[in-house]
């Protein structure tokens, strides 16, 4: 987590964004991130991002739920306190299925959402730098990290050739910090 300088380009349409992303990746500049107001299909592939493993995590949470429910009910009804319900066997598997299913779904859903928040570093009270206020509205934003200060102008010129409708140079914290969104950012406070 540190304050860095970024060359920022905004595009008005995903049809312009795709060729721009291709050019940026070929240019050798360090790509910080791409922001869009909605999920753009194929953008992850265009950026060379790996597929997410979130669903595998979900599966693991799910079977944890299955095991918890089955294990717990079996333990209660066969070991801890067996009760004869209408002469049915203590280990009555068919009757355990509904709760087992519900707990599988519950564990998978809650676990996945928490993992989603953790991976994306989002939580109530988290604040991040917004490169353009319309990046959650109708603009697609590409941010390049300026690693060599002398290349700043060159980078901006390059971004302009990719079809950007707006370019800027911004100094910003690259990670997240605790804060409210009505306050102006104070980068010195970042640890």
Partner 1 sequence: MNGNKDYHQVTEDICRPVEQKPTKLWYLGFITSLIFLGFGAFSVFWEVYWGIGTWGINRTVGWGWDITNFVWWVGIGHAGTLISAILLLFRQGWRTGVNRAAEAMTIFAVMCAGMFPIFHMGRVWNAFYVLPYPNTRGPLWPNFNSALLWDVFAISTYFTVSLLFWYSGLVPDFATIRDRAKTKLRKKLYGIASFGWTGTAKNWQRFEALALVLAGLATPLVLSVHTIVSMDFATSVIPGWHTTIFPPYFVAGAIFSGFAMVNTLLVLVRKIFRLEDYITLGHIEAMNKVIVLTGSIVGVAYLSELFIAWYSQVRYEQDAFKWRIMGPYWWSYWAMMTCNVVSPQLFWVKKLRRNIVFTFILSIVVNIGMWFERFVIIVTSLYRDYLPSSWTYYSPTWTELGFYLGTFGLFFTCFFLFAKYFPVIAIAEIKFVLKTSGENYKEKMLPLEEKSTDEFIHIAEHSH
Chain residues that interact with partner 1, rule: CB under 8 A = 18-19, 33-40, 43-44, 47, 49, 51-52, 54-55, 58, 62, 72-73, 76-77, 80-81, 83, 85, 88, 92, 95-96, 98-99, 101-103, 105-106, 108-110, 112-113, 116-117, 119-130, 133-138, 176, 180-182
What span, in angstroms and rounded, lies between the C-alpha atoms of 112 and 43? 23
Q: How far is the CB of 153 from partner 1 (least distance, A)?
A: 26
Q: How far is the CB of 56 from partner 1 (least distance, A)?
A: 10
Query: Quick one: 27 or 151, whose CB is closer to partner 1?
Result: 27
Residue 12: how many CB atoms within 10 A of its CB?
15
Q: How far is the CB of 127 from partner 1 (least distance, A)?
A: 5
Q: Name beta bridge partners: 173.
A: 3
What span, in angstroms and rounded, lies between the C-alpha atoms of 34 and 42? 13
Tell me how far CA of residue 165 lies from CA of 49, 61, 127, 140, 142, in angstroms.
25, 44, 26, 10, 12
Query: Quick one: 117 or 153, whose CB is closer to partner 1?
Result: 117
Q: How far is the CB of 118 from partner 1 (least distance, A)?
A: 10
Query: Quick one: 62 or 158, whose CB is closer to partner 1?
Result: 62
Query: Quick one: 49 or 153, whose CB is closer to partner 1?
Result: 49
Q: How far is the CB of 152 from partner 1 (least distance, A)?
A: 23
Query: Quick one: 150 or 161, whose CB is closer to partner 1?
Result: 161
Long-range contacts of 15-22 (CB under 8 A, 24+ apart): 16/140, 16/162, 16/163, 17/43, 17/140, 17/142, 18/42, 18/43, 18/46, 19/162, 19/163, 20/142, 20/162, 20/163, 20/164, 21/46, 21/47, 21/142, 22/46
């Amino acid at each position: 987590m540190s304050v860095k300088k970024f060359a920022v380009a905004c595009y008005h349409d995903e049809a312009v964004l795709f060729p721009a992303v291709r050019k940026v990746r070929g240019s050798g500049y360090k790509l910080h991130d791409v922001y869009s107001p909605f999920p753009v299909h194929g953008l992850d592939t265009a950026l060379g991002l790996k597929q997410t493993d979130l669903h595998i995590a979900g599966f693991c949470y799910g079977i944890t739920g299955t095991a918890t429910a089955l294990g717990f009910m079996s333990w209660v009804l066969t070991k801890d306190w067996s009760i004869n319900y209408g002469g049915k066997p203590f280990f009555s598997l068919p009757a355990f299925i509904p709760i087992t299913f519900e707990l599988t779904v519950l564990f998978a859903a809650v676990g996945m959402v928490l993992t989603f928040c953790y991976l994306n570093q989002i939580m109530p009270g988290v604040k991040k730098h917004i490169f353009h206020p319309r990046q959650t509205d109708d603009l697609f934003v590409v941010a390049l990290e300026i690693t060599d200060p002398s290349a700043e102008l060159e980078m901006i010129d390059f971004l302009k050739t990719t079809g950007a409708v707006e370019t800027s140079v911004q100094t910003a914290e690259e990670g997240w910090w605790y804060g409210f969104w009505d306050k102006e950012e104070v980068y010195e406070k970042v640890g």
